[in-house]
Amino acid sequence: MRILIIEDNPDILANLYAYLEAKGHVLDSAMNGYAGLALLAQHEYDVIVLDVMLPGLTGLELCQKLRGELRNSTPVLILTARDTLQDKVAGFDSGADDYLVKPFSLLELEIRLKALLRRARGQTTATAVLAVGELRFDTEKFEVWRAGHALTLTKTGYIILKCLMSEAPKLVPREMLEHEVWGDDRPDSDALRTHIHALRQALDKPYAFPMLRTIPGIGYKLLSSDAPV
C-alpha cells in the first residue's frame, strides 16, 4: 500500500514508519494539516492515516476539505486519543472511513488499512468472482462451489471465506478475521473458532484434501493443493 500519514507526534510517526515500511508499504508523512493537503494535491495514495489534533488545520477539517473541495475518496482512518461516542460520530461525519483510538496495536492498524483498501477496490470491481484452486466464490450472488459442487455456508462463513480467498495463499491473522466479522465489537469468547469449524465442515469434509489450514495461535490460510503448511 502507498500510505499517507498525517500525524504531529514524532514518536508515533517513527513507530509507524518502522513497522509499516518493514512490511513493504510505501509511506509519505506530514506533521500538520496544510502539509498533508499539499501532499494529497500532488500524489495519489491507497489509504490515509489521519490524526485529529493537528496544528493549523485539524484532522476533521482536513477530512471535510478532502471530501468536499477536493472530491477525494481515498479511504481515511482516523487515529486519535479521543474515544467518546461523540468524537467517533464527529469523525465519521467528517468523511472518515474508520476510527482507531490511541494507544493502538500496529498489527490492528495494518489490518484495518488493508480492509479499507479492499473495500475501496471492491467498489470499482466489475466482477466479484474469487478463485482459489478448485474453489469459486461469487461474492455478489453469495454462491460458492468446490470442484463444481455448490456449498452452503452461514452468513459469517461467507464473510470469513471471502477474506481468506482474497488473501490466499497468505496467512490471515485471527485478528483480521475477527475485525471483518465483528468490527470493533468483537466477542470475548472464542466465537471465531466455532465459525471456522462450521466453515471447515462445509468446505473440506467431503473432499480429498483440506484447503482450510490452521496456524496455531496465529491465524488461518487457504491452500489450493494438498501441500504442507
> In this structure, are 102 and 142 located in the same domain?
no
Name the residue range of residue 107's domain. Answer: 2-121
pLDDT, position 166: 87
**Looking at the domain assignment, is residue 228 inside a domain?**
no
For residue 68, the model assigns a pLDDT of 86
The pLDDT, as a whole number, for residue 228 is: 55
**pLDDT for the residue numbered 125:** 43
Residues 199 and 150 in one domain: yes
* Total domains present in the chain: 2
| Start-to-end Cα distance in the chain | 26
Instruction: Tell me what pLDDT residue 180 has.
Output: 87
Q: Indicate if 11 and 97 belong to the same structural domain.
A: yes
Structural Rg of the chain based on CA atoms: 19
Distances (CA, A) of 139 to 117, 125, 130, 151, 160: 17, 11, 7, 13, 12
CATH number of the domain that 191 lies in? Answer: 1.10.10.10
Q: Are residues 109 and 154 in the same domain?
A: no
Residues 34 and 88 in one domain: yes
Which residue ranges of the chain lie beneath pLDDT 70? 122-128, 226-229
Q: Is 227 within the bounds of a domain?
A: no
Nearest Cα to Cα of residue 140 among 151, 153, 127: 127
**Alpha carbon distances (Å) from 21 to 15, 25, 61, 76:** 10, 5, 28, 19
pLDDT, position 226:
57
Inside any domain, residue 70: yes
Torsion angle (degrees, nearest 10) of CA 27, 118, 167, 5: 20
For residues 16 and 10, what is the distance between their CA atoms, to the nearest angstrom?
10
pLDDT computed for residue 126 by the predictor: 42
Residue 2, phi then psi, degrees to nearest 5: -100, 115
